[in-house]
Structure 1
Amino acid sequence: MQPNEQAGHYTFPLSEKVTRQKVSYKNRYGLTLSADLYLPKNRGTEPLAALAISGPFGAVKEQSSGLYAQTMAERGFVTLAFDPSYTGESGGEPRNVASPDINTEDFSAAVDFLGLQPGVDRTRVGIIGICGWAGMALNAAAVDKRIKAVATTSMYDMTRIMAKGYFDSQTLEQRTQLLEHLSQQRWADAEKSAPAPSPTGLPEKLQGNEPQFVVDYWNYYKTPRGFHPNSINSNGRWTATTPLSFMNMPLLTYIKEIAPRPVLLIAGEKAHSRYLSEDAYKAAAEPKELVIIPGASHVDLYDQLQVIPFDKLTTFFTEHLK
């Protein structure tokens, strides 16, 4: 790809208003997570509210989540952008695999870490989930009562997408066929003692007949705008059997139990995923808020600073992390 696309590369410049420090810690399963800790330079001496941030699905901390973390640190929060288990610089073998349980735990492990920092008020910790990690963030907030507020952008419920397809279009017959195929793939993986990569992923070149959302993904992950060699979507593929654990474990089963803590869901007006945020909003209990960004696509909320409603995010967390 591009000459500056090495492991130390960030897709955004470091702000003069913050410091960034590489840190690591373990989750409840003993996996070592790699993260970047962002601190406001002019933070004073009082402990601050903190935010743990991850996503999108298949991305790394040097991409969107790091940009969110840096921007929120500029606004006075201690922030942590982390690579989920089995991805990026975080530990776990095999590589490029996801789990609705372990990746939910990854958010709670980030809360563990933040709560031990001397500059953090552990009673004022929130989380932000982007894209596929938004569903994991909502699940984490439901089970982990230390999380005092949760916000999502371009939310994907990966369990629903993998179990039912986009817009719940997958039939029972199609689901059964897919599970038959994935079950047989386990034999192939066992015989080779290694998991096969998924046969599908972002193409190296666009052919011109792709859906617009695939074009949008490609324009982020496969160009200098968002490419990172550690990102699965930029430079690899998920394992072929990754969908198995998502297909019968609905992430949002207990979304109502986030209450009375607040939920903020943000989606683009033109996002193919908009319906997922709208449905999550309907399922959640008060206090909750749904913000639709006029004219925005799903991927616009990854890195377009003039589109991402950081003022709204700042107001939300300032109000609810008092």
Structure 2
Amino acid sequence: MKKIVAIFMLAMSIVTINTTNAQSSKANKNPYTLVYAGAITENVEGEVNIHPVNYKIKNIEIAANVYTPANYDPANKYPAIVVAHPNGGVKEQVAGLYAQRLAEQGYITIAADAAYQGASGGTPRNIDKPAHRIEDIHAMADYITQYEGVDKDNVGLLGICGGGGYSLKAAQADKRFKAVATLSMFNSGEVRRNGFMKSQVSTIQERLKEASDARALEAAGGEVRYAADLECSDEMADKMPFDLYREGHYYYHRTHAHPNSTFRYTMSSLIDLMTFDATTNMDLINQPLLMIAGSNADTYYMTDDAFNKASNAKNKELFLIDGATHIETYWKPEYVSEAVNKLTDFFGNNLRTNDSKENKI
């Protein structure tokens, strides 16, 4: 079985079939291309509103959505929450869902597409380097702290899946984040290096060689090679050995598909990914920390590892959603509501507003 899993994971990491024609009818129907249940379809006065915005990280234009709470008044001061999306995800999927649900609780929230990904700029497309993803999070804080009505001294951070791992790294140094939470945290470096559940340890050097060759080819002006660029059928997905990838296929390619969302990333990115680990220097996190995971998530071992290393986190808490798998925390109504309720309590206890006209959080 271990050999089968290793072969499967290796194939997932190197196959290069183009899937750029994937489309989503939900994205086409929603004016903001949101694909999650209960998504905003129009801005209504007095309700939660969505505001597409753009800003730059150096010379790269970033596409983001800002959500403002009901009865938003820019003359007031609101706490804000930065939401970082999963690997392969975009702001219109789970990151947008949680950003909208937290805006319903009175927060100004922001979800942005990572540089080189989604609707954001940058070439080659789908570069996935940890330093870039961490800078994306810092830049969201840069933007949202300047947004009208935001109390810049009360900003929280929520990272989902791969965005959770990168959020832990960002929060280690960026103390603008007064409270840090993760949902279904995924340690991208550990998995790209060792394979999911350590299923690819035996091929580390082989994959590093492929990444090195891919970078050399790019530097010489040749083609850009991609990893995980797999056109997957339902039949193929049903045979996958892990819930994460099996359910991820149906979420990203079927029920919540978005034309800007893709699993692929440049092969050369593995040089950076495989030498990265989200859990190094966890002792630098001294903010309040909440880590949420499904009790049935096959990714839980990554949350557990990071949580145990957060030795200096203030009032840290590990919260398990009973019965949930990793992907189910993205969309299943009862699990999303349970997570949002916990996040609302957490941020409500750790973020405060300085405005005399107190907002109810």
Settle same-fold status: TM greater than 0.5: yes
Counterpart mapping for 1:131-142 below 5 A: 131-142=161-172
2:79 equivalent to 1:49: yes
Structure 1 stretch displaced more, 187-196 or 301-310: 187-196
Counterpart mapping for 1:97-112 below 5 A: 97-112=127-142
- Which residue pairs with 1:175 in the alignment? 204
Whole-Å Cα distance in 1 between the matches of residues 186 and 228 of structure 2?
21
Cα contact 1:149–1:320 (8 A) shared by 2? yes
2:252 equivalent to 1:218: no
User: Residues 263 and 4 from structure 1, CA distance in 2 versus in 1: closer, same or farther, beyond 3 angstroms?
Assistant: closer
Counterpart mapping for 1:234-245 below 5 A: 237-245=264-272
Identity %: 33
Cα contact 1:267–1:298 (8 A) shared by 2? yes
Give the 3-state SS of the residue equivalent to 1:307 in structure 2.
Answer: helix
Aligned residues: CA RMSD: 1.9
- Displacement after TM superposition at 1:291 (Å): 0.6
Cα contact 1:206–1:215 (8 A) shared by 2? no
Choose from 149, 162, 184 the match for 2:179: 149
Q: Which runs of 5+ in 2 are unaligned?
A: 1-22, 353-361
- Displacement after TM superposition at 1:64 (Å): 0.7
Counterpart mapping for 1:283-294 below 5 A: 283-285=309-311, 286-287=313-314, 288-294=316-322
Cα contact 1:127–1:150 (8 A) shared by 2? yes
Give the 3-state SS of the residue equivalent to 1:232 in structure 2.
Answer: coil
Cα contact 2:293–2:300 (8 A) shared by 1? yes
- Which residue pairs with 1:21 in the alignment? 51
Whole-Å Cα distance in 1 between the matches of residues 157 and 78 of structure 2?
14
Aligned residues: 315
1:221 counterpart letter in structure 2: Y
Structure 1 stretch displaced more, 192-201 or 311-320: 192-201
2:333 equivalent to 1:302: no
TM-score when normalising by structure 2:
0.82
Give the 3-state SS of the residue equivalent to 1:195 in structure 2.
Answer: coil
User: Residues 43 and 64 from structure 1, CA distance in 2 versus in 1: closer, same or farther, beyond 3 angstroms?
Assistant: same
1:120 counterpart letter in structure 2: V
Choose from 266, 284, 302 the match for 1:276: 302
- Which residue pairs with 2:223 in the alignment? 194
Q: Which runs of 5+ in 1 are unaligned?
A: none
Measured against aligned partners, the alpha-carbon deviations of 1:181-234 in whole angstroms (never above 9, x if no partner) come to: 2222334444553312225536143333212332201110111x210000013x
Structure 1 stretch displaced more, 284-293 or 202-211: 202-211
Whole-Å Cα distance in 2 between the matches of residues 41 and 2 of structure 1?
29
Cα contact 1:11–1:226 (8 A) shared by 2? yes
User: Residues 305 and 254 from structure 1, CA distance in 2 versus in 1: closer, same or farther, beyond 3 angstroms?
Assistant: same
- Displacement after TM superposition at 1:137 (Å): 0.4
Give the 3-state SS of the residue equivalent to 2:267 in structure 1.
Answer: coil
TM-score when normalising by structure 1:
0.92
Whole-Å Cα distance in 2 between the matches of residues 125 and 299 of structure 1?
26
- Which residue pairs with 2:62 in the alignment? 33
Cα contact 1:202–1:214 (8 A) shared by 2? no
Give the 3-state SS of the residue equivalent to 2:346 in structure 1.
Answer: helix
Measured against aligned partners, the alpha-carbon deviations of 1:207-263 in whole angstroms (never above 9, x if no partner) come to: 33212332201110111x210000013xxx22222222011132321221111x111
- Which residue pairs with 2:144 in the alignment? 114
Higher relative contact order (CA 8 A, sep 6+): 2
